[in-house]
Structure 1
Amino acid sequence: MSEYTVIAERDAFLAACTTLAAAAGPVAVDVERASGFRYSQRAYLIQVFRRDAGVFLFDPPALDDFAPLQEAIGDAEWVLHAASQDLPSLRELGLEPPRLFDTELAARLLGHERVGLGAVVENTLGIALAKAHSASDWSQRPLPQSWLEYAALDVLHLVDVRDVLARELREQDKTEIAAEEFADVRDRPAKPPRDEPWRRLSGLHAVRGRKALAVARALWTAREEFAEAEDIAPGRLVPDRALVAAVVADPRSKHDLAALKEFTGRASRSELDRWWQAIERGRADPTPPRERATGGDTLPPPRAWAQRNPDADLRLKAARPAVEELATNLHMPTENLLTPDTLRRVAWTPPEPVDPGSVADALRAWGAREWQVGRTAQVIADAFVGSVQHAEKAADPAS
């Protein structure tokens, strides 16, 4: 096994960029974060591989300006696995792929049963990768050599994997499909923040009453602010279950909170004043939250459609199996042919009149790519029309 070092000095970084610029062909890129350990999703290690250049491991916290790396790669194609996970961290450093090949997404479009990096490498190249450090704390320094070997392997074979998958895409006539999907991943805007992120507290269903929900919100906010300031994952300070336990216990004093054995976590006692103040703020909140989250543009669950919107229920029940059959014929997961949410939204509020053209426009409005529109619009329109005809016959058996 090769010995790897993390490049943290400017001169070594510039020398590596020169070597990468002198090589040719696609560039494999990967990012290691410290999810579950740190609050931020920043990159703590960036791995880069290019044929005739080799593997380089860069230390983002030590290297401020990554413009030389962006310039060195130039307009070459970037190869990433599950690119949507790494692109935000790369963009924070000013690293942006001009062209993208996503090996995970390619494997999905090709109908591979397993699409994790290890599985895809083994399936395409016959090489088994050890995935021992994927959940490690990559913010620590120094990084053990075994971790660096693992990180290097994440990019070492990725260009070869890309070549095999590109050939499979050509054989299945999916090259253009993949190109549209890769461009969509690269250009997709970041999701807007949730309106009420505190409602994602695990176990919040056990909290009853608006005043108690106000306390839960205040505790979550206090933990979030402290976690961001310390750059520590919130759950490592006080787990969700401990916050909920404190709300449910409804302690009468700071002493009662300290005595609550379910209130655990590394900061549960050291920051006791912080949590007690949050509880008091929540209790005094003049605008406690609603019992249920506001709906926004969220649709009801499909199981409720028969009562809430019977016509939409019929449309969905007719279109869903038709889209699933089409996906099977194309040898890809249904959600890659068309996301379930997109189909549900078009079924809930169909265009008027229902025909392939209007359905195509509706699909585009909800973010479907052109290749998806071209393959599904006719199928969905036919299913919607058929559901209406079926309903009319059921209402008038004599017809």
Structure 2
Amino acid sequence: MKNHLYKNDLPDGLDLGPIVAIDCETMGLHPHRDRLCVVQMSSGDGHAHLVQVAQGQTTAPNLCAMLTDPNVLKLFHFGRFDIAALQNTFGALTAPVYCTKIASRLVRTYTDRHGLKNLLQELLNEDISKQQQSSDWGADTLTKAQIDYAASDVLHLHKLRDKLDVMLAREGRDELAQACFRFLPTRALLDLEGWPETDIFAHA
């Protein structure tokens, strides 16, 4: 396993394949206030590719081409936040997508523990550390601990998707999950446009 760190964009010619796991690190949880700092990706081969985003950066042509490629499925855990952060920074709406948190909520109805750490422990018997989650991702130089943490958030998503897909099919909720995934980029846009806490489908 190797972690590759790039500045500002993915290198020319890098092909991460038809299914790419993606996660983001930001300065906080408010996309309009807290800037995007790192985008980490994996093709599922055990290697991670991290793009460090500069303060004020608004373009990343190679990264955005992959995010918007209709032939590349992007895997997230809580994609709603990451898709919004990427859209807010680069103006690139990520699609098509798959979210392991949504899949978990649809099929693991026997629990309210849907964090990535919980899923990996139960379904893959993998234990990851969340110690660096709240560290300073805007620093000019990332520590090895930060890089390893960022990588750990994407290295297992392919296998996790496989496990969740089996459960979704078994419970007859795979089509419902796909409908949710198709709506997810729109849900992220609603967040950015001012409806983060409003259920626009509610009667009240």
What interval of TM-score do these two structures reach, taking the shorter chain for normalisation?
A: 0.7 to 0.9
More displaced stretch, 64-73 vs 139-148: 64-73
Check whether the contact 2:22–2:75 (CA below 8 A) recurs between aligned residues.
Answer: yes
**Aligned residue for 1:170?**
169
Distance 1:72 1:87 in 2: 13
Q: Residue 45 of structure 1: which of 35, 38, 54 is its match?
A: 38
Question: In 1, Cα distance between the equivalents of 2:156 and 2:64?
Answer: 21
Cα-to-partner distance string for 1:220-273 (whole Å, 9 max, x where unaligned): xxxxxxxxxxxxxxxxxxxxxxxxxxxxxxxxxxxxxxxxxxxxxxxxxxxxxx
Report the secondary structure of 2:169's partner residue. helix
User: Any gaps of 5 or more consecutive residues in structure 1?
Assistant: 195-297, 299-338, 346-399
What does residue 107 of structure 1 align with?
A: 104
Partner amino acid, structure 2, of 1:129: I
Between 56-65 and 41-50, the greater mean CA deviation after superposition: 56-65
Distance 1:78 1:142, change over 3 A: same
Find 1:87's aligned residue among 60, 66, 83: 83
Would the aligned equivalents of 1:66 and 1:95 in 2 still touch at CA under 8 Å?
Answer: no
Instruction: Quote the residue 1:69 is aligned against.
Output: 63
Query: How far did residue 193 of structure 1 move?
Result: 4.2
* Aligned position for 2:190: 190
Note the alpha carbon deviations across 1:256-303, whole angstroms, 9 max, x for none. Answer: xxxxxxxxxxxxxxxxxxxxxxxxxxxxxxxxxxxxxxxxxx9xxxxx
Structure index of larger Rg? 1
Change beyond 3 A, Cα 1:95–1:49? farther
The CA deviation string for residues 99-144 of structure 1, in whole angstroms up to 9 with x for no partner, is 1111011100012521001111112211011111112221112111
| 1:66–1:94 contact (8 Å) kept in structure 2 | no
What is the aligned partner in structure 1 of residue 133 from structure 2? Answer: 134
| Percent of residue pairs identical | 22
Instruction: Indicate the SS of the match to 1:28.
Output: strand
Q: Distance in 1 between matches of 2:144 and 2:36?
A: 19
Query: How far apart, in 1, do the equivalents of 2:175 and 2:81 lie?
Result: 23
The higher-RCO structure (CA 8 Å, 6+ apart) is: 2
Q: Secondary structure of 2:160's match?
A: helix
Match of 1:78, SS? strand
Over the residues paired in the alignment, what is the CA RMSD in angstroms?
Answer: 2.8
Q: TM-score, normalized by length of structure 1?
A: 0.44
Does the 8 A contact of 1:24 with 1:51 survive in 2?
Answer: no
Secondary structure class of the residue paired with 2:21: strand
Give the superposition deviation at 1:64: 5.0
Contact 1:27 1:50 in 2 (8 A): yes
User: Aligned letter for 1:43?
Assistant: L
Moved over 6 A (4+): 36-39
**AA aligned opposite 1:78:** K
The answer to whether the Cα contact below 8 Å between 1:67 and 1:94 also exists between their aligned partners in 2 is no
Tell me the amino acid that sits aligned with residue 120 of structure 1: L
Report how many residues are paired.
193
Give me the whole-angstrom Cα distance separating, in 1, the residues matched to 2:141 and 2:123. Answer: 33
Shift of 1:9: 6.1
In the TM superposition, residue 171 of structure 1 has moved relative to its aligned partner by 0.9
| Distance change in 2, residues 1:36/1:120 (3 Å) | closer
2:3–2:47 Cα contact (<8 Å) kept: no
Paired with 1:36 and 1:101, the residues of 2 have a C-alpha distance of 21
Closer/same/farther in 2, CA of residues 46 and 109 from structure 1, 3 Å limit: same
Asked if structure 2 preserves the Cα contact closer than 8 Å seen for 1:65 and 1:93, the reply is yes
Deviation of the 1:52 alpha carbon: 4.5
- 1:179 equivalent in alignment to 2:178: yes
- Residues 44 and 156, structure 2, Cα contact 8 Å, conserved in 1: no
Q: 1:36, CA displacement in angstroms? A: 7.5
